[in-house]
């Protein structure tokens, strides 16, 4: 964690996203990788001049330079000419974030089109019970590896943390 002007940037709460699950391995199709830094409360933060973000990859694709946008979000693009898959991660000030995302590089003739960007869907906030109880749990299903959970794992959390996992961190969905 980095402390700057009373804002603590947290490597484990910061989020790594990729806008597609697969791209064509033709050297021109691209995916966008995004790193959003979070503070110790899970809020978005703009990095201080002291914050150092490094993208970690298996060097199978070609990455553009990781740059910071005006809103404090780090982005880069990736393309490849080799069919396969690659996992990406990142570190913040030499602390490695434990989550990774995977991108598949598919052959142009495979019949599988590249995955289009997923439009954001408005999160559904669970309604609190009419007679709130102290130990009410909201069940979520994880969409990707997160902390000790794997993709598809189901777990119960208090309503505030469940909402944070679904709405802010976007690593889970409410279980039906």
Residue by residue, pLDDT tens for the chain (176 residues) are 444 455 678 888 889 999 999 999 999 999 999 998 888 888 888 877 778 888 999 889 999 998 888 777 899 999 999 999 999 999 988 899 888 899 999 998 755 666 666 676 666 666 655 655 556 788 889 888 887 888 888 888 888 888 888 988 888 999 87
Provide the phi-psi class of 27: left if phi over 0, else alpha when psi is between -120 and 50, else beta. Answer: left
Residue 173 CA to its chain's centroid (Å): 14
Could you give the domains of the chain?
2-106 (2.60.40.10), 120-176 (no CATH)
* CB of 94 closer than 8 Å to CB of 50: no
Kindly state the helix (H) or strand (E) to which residue 161 belongs, with its residue range.
helix 159-163
Could you identify the residue written with the tokens 């989020």? 15
């Amino acid at each position: 964690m980095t402390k700057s002007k009373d804002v603590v940037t947290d490597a484990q709460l910061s989020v790594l996203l990729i806008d597609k699950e697969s791209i064509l391995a033709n050297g021109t199709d691209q995916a966008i990788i995004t790193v959003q830094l979070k503070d110790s409360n899970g809020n978005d933060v703009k990095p201080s001049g002291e914050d150092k973000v490094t993208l970690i990859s298996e060097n199978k694709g070609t990455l553009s330079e990781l740059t910071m946008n005006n809103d404090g979000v780090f982005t880069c693009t990736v393309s490849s000419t080799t069919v396969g898959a690659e996992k990406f991660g990142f570190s913040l000030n030499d602390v490695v974030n434990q989550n990774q995302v995977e991108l598949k590089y598919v052959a142009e003739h495979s019949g599988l089109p590249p995955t289009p960007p997923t439009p954001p869907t408005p999160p559904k906030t669970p309604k609190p019970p009419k007679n709130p109880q102290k130990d009410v749990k909201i069940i979520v299903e994880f969409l990707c590896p997160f902390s000790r959970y794997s993709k598809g794992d189901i777990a119960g959390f208090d309503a505030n943390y469940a909402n944070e996992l679904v709405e802010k961190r976007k690593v889970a969905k409410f279980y039906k």
